[in-house]
Chain A
Amino acid sequence: MLVLKDVCKTFNRGSANEKVALQGIDLTVKEGDFITVIGGNGAGKSTMLNMISGAFPVDSGLVKIGGENVTNQPEHVRAKRIGRVFQDPMKGTAGDMWIEENLAIAMRRGKRRSLRWGVTKDERELYKKLLAPFDLGLEDRLQTKVSLLSGGQRQALTLLMATVQKPDILLLDEHTAALDPKTAAKVLAMTDELIKEHNLTAIMVTHNMKDAIKYGNRLIMMMNGKIIYDVSGEEKAALEVSDLLKKFEVSTGEEFANDRMLLV
């Protein structure tokens, strides 16, 4: 579903702020894979997701999604194959527009946008049906401005917007990190349910090792712009947080000192 071949990216090349962000990323994601990504700050996790979604051109390497070479495709063109949920709940929705207008824009991802009316009656019924299982009461508030919703509600809506047109790949960039623990757990459970229900292929960046182990069928660890650990299947299911910490110490040769990654 997704193939990354030797992808490299250096930001601000040649300046004092030069930052090697990705150094030869190789990754093949099979259809139906749910991959969790962990790693310290600056390891390149978010950069990898942004690279897949086309936010910046890569220096070298190949990116294929759903069998198509998208390496040189601009962000908005390859968006038809990608669903995205960002860390910032404000980023995935248009606050000054209604819930149904946001959904209608997402409903037309990858389709030609014409001069037909933006939200149809049939759609409205569909949105009500899709929002109801979230149990947030959003189904009765279709004509409410999104800016009036809480962070958790906005993330739930963004999640629905990312999946309402089935994407080839769903990219979740620490999408629960800005939420309180209770809401985060709820949104995460919703995410898992949606992925299972629609058999989506997904990559989820997280700082929470327990979540990284609990969810998905494959786990990768990144460091300095490289994938340093890739585990799946039964081996992944048997992982413990202590295993990951050990793995990290072995590969860095130093004590694991990042508090954020230890948050459980």
Chain B
Amino acid sequence: MELLASILKNLPDAVSLGLVWGIMAIGVYITFKVLDIADMTVDGTFAMGGCIVASTVASGWNPIFSTLFAILCGMAAGLVTGILHTKLKIPAILAGILTMLSLYSVDLMILGGKSNIGMSQFGENRVYTILDKLAAALGTTAKTTNIITGIVLAVVIVMGLYWFFGTEQGCLIRATGINEAMVKAQGGNTDTMKIIGLIIANGFVSLSGALVSQIQRYGDVGMGTGTIVIGLASIIIGEVIFGTKCSFKVRLASVFFGSIIYRVIIAIVLLLGFNPNNLKLLTAVLVIAALSVPVIRGYIFERKRIRANMKKYEEVETDAGA
């Protein structure tokens, strides 16, 4: 009972974190599912978004500009990976890893050589995050503001992406992820399509990092580690719940739901006394389990079929012997 009560108490935080991290998962969805590229840049972009905001807000920037600047830098990171992959023909995974690696140094530069920067909430160094400003404007508590912001952003992003991928340009990006030969034959530049997709995706990831750092009130050079796996976990959880046959709009929304459920799962295991140090391991196991279930189910089905088939002949042989 006590556990249930503390879960309920933690639910609003899990939901708002889920929504904000969901923006990152949407970025992963665009590259991994729509473009069929495993974009490892994400780990670097997420941390960069957080570091940019932490560093600039702490030094007195308006948090709105900081966040916009973080988005732009994220898009630039996507552009770099896109050029490495399409123009310099570096395999997509390696191109992403290279950008991610270089962003680590960039993040340290942004943080002025420190490994993290805080945005203090009290005292004379108090700075205001975007969420502080919104809370003041709406007259709501921090918790409520986080949830409202998350919901509004999620709805806007789902609608916006649904619109974009329905346009002439967006259709061609989707087609590029499905069949490049067809896109080329129909006069589409597949390189440009991939670059656009990577730019948009990393813009979202950076925005997500920027908001997460404003919620936790610090940016850390290591905050991006494993981001892509968390993104994949969210997508997979969404697919398990909503299936893969539903409309594009629902699939986009399912990524946010998946992200929220992921956060709820994390909150529950932490409340159960799980060591937070092992969270990344847990996430990886979760993704491995989700990805391997259909394969294992296939093996079992196949073995059953073989056994049933063989049994039929064994019976025939015994009959003949008798």
Tell whether A76 pairs with B178 under 8 Å between CB atoms, given A105-B171, A114-B167, A114-B168: no
Find chain A residues with CB under 8 A from B183 CB: 76, 94, 105
- Would you call B181 and A91 a contact (CB within 8 A)? yes
B188's nearest neighbour on chain A, judged by CB, is A76
Residue of A75, A104, A117, A118 with highest tally of chain B CB at under 10 A: A118
Instruction: Determine chain B's interface SS by DSSP, over half rule.
Output: helix
Segment with Cβ contacts to B, from A32-40, A79-87, A216-224, A226-234: A79-87
| Contact string against B for A residues 47-88, beta-carbon threshold 8 Å, 1 for contact and 0 otherwise | 000000100000000000000000000011101101010100
Contact with B along A100-139 (1 / 0, CB 8 A): 0110111011100111111000000000000000000000
A-chain residues with CB within 8 Å of residue B186 when the two chains form the complex: 79, 105-106, 108-109, 161
Within 8 A of A (CB), among B36-73: none
| B190 within 8 Å of A (CB atoms) | yes
Q: Given the complex, which residues of B lie within 8 Å of A162, measured CB to CB? A: 185
Q: Is A240 an interface position by the 8 A CB rule? A: no
Interface residues of A in 138-181 (CB under 8 A from B): 161-162
When C-beta atoms are compared, the residue in chain B nearest to A158 turns out to be B182
Q: How far is the CB of A102 from chain B (nearest CB, A)?
A: 8
B189: which A residues are within 8 A, CB to CB?
Answer: 76
Contact B178 A97 (CB under 8 A): yes
Does A116 contact B185, Cβ atoms closer than 8 Å?
no
Find out whether the CB atom of B168 lies under 8 angstroms from the CB atom of A80. Answer: no
Contact A116 B167 (CB under 8 A): yes
B174 at the interface (CB under 8 A from A): yes
A77→B186 CA distance, assembly (Å): 9
Interface residues of B in 148-192 (CB under 8 A from A): 164, 166-172, 174-175, 178-179, 181-190
Q: Provide the bound-state CA to CA distance between A249 and B118, in Å.
A: 83
Give the distance to chain B from A138, nearest Cβ to Cβ, in Å. Answer: 17
Determine the chain B residues whose CB is within 8 A of the CB of A115 once the complex forms: 164, 167-170
Query: With contacts A77-B187, A109-B187, A161-B186 known, is A95 near B172, CB below 8 A?
Result: no
Indicate whether A24 reaches chain B with its CB closer than 8 angstroms.
no
A105 & B172 in contact (Cβ 8 Å cutoff): yes
Q: Which residues of B are found within 8 Å of A109, using beta-carbon distances?
A: 186-187
Residues of the A chain whose Cβ atoms lie less than 8 Å from the Cβ of B181: 86, 91-92
Tier of interface size on chain A: 20 to 34
Contacts of A77 in B (CB 8 A): 187
Cα–Cα, bound, A101→B190 (Å): 17
Which residues on A sit within 8 Å (CB–CB) of B166?
117-118
Contact A92 B187 (CB under 8 A): no
Q: Check B169–A110 contact: CB distance below 8 A.
A: no
For residue A245, give the distance in angstroms from its CB to the closest CB of chain B. 34
Q: Is A31 an interface residue (CB 8 A)?
A: no
Contact of A76 (CB < 8 Å), options: B171, B174, B175, B190: B190
- Bound-complex Cα distance A104 to B166 (A): 11
A96 within 8 A of B: yes
A110 to chain B: which residues have CB within 8 Å? 187
A201 close to B (CB within 8 Å): no
Given A94-B183, A105-B183, A114-B169, 12 more A-B residue pairs with CB atoms under 8 Å apart are: A77-B187, A82-B185, A84-B185, A92-B185, A93-B182, A96-B178, A105-B172, A115-B167, A115-B168, A117-B166, A118-B167, A118-B170
What 6 pairs between A and B have smallest CB-CB spacing?
A79-B187, A113-B168, A118-B171, A94-B178, A94-B175, A109-B187
Query: A-contacting residues of B (Cβ < 8 Å)?
Result: 164, 166-172, 174-175, 178-179, 181-190
Residues of A within 8 A of B (CB): 53, 75-77, 79-80, 82, 84, 86, 90-97, 101-102, 104-106, 108-110, 113-118, 161-162
Contact sample, A vs B, 25 pairs, CB 8 Å cutoff: A53-B185, A76-B188, A76-B190, A79-B188, A93-B182, A94-B179, A95-B179, A97-B174, A97-B178, A102-B175, A102-B182, A105-B171, A105-B183, A105-B186, A105-B188, A108-B168, A108-B186, A109-B186, A113-B172, A114-B167, A115-B169, A116-B167, A118-B168, A118-B170, A161-B186
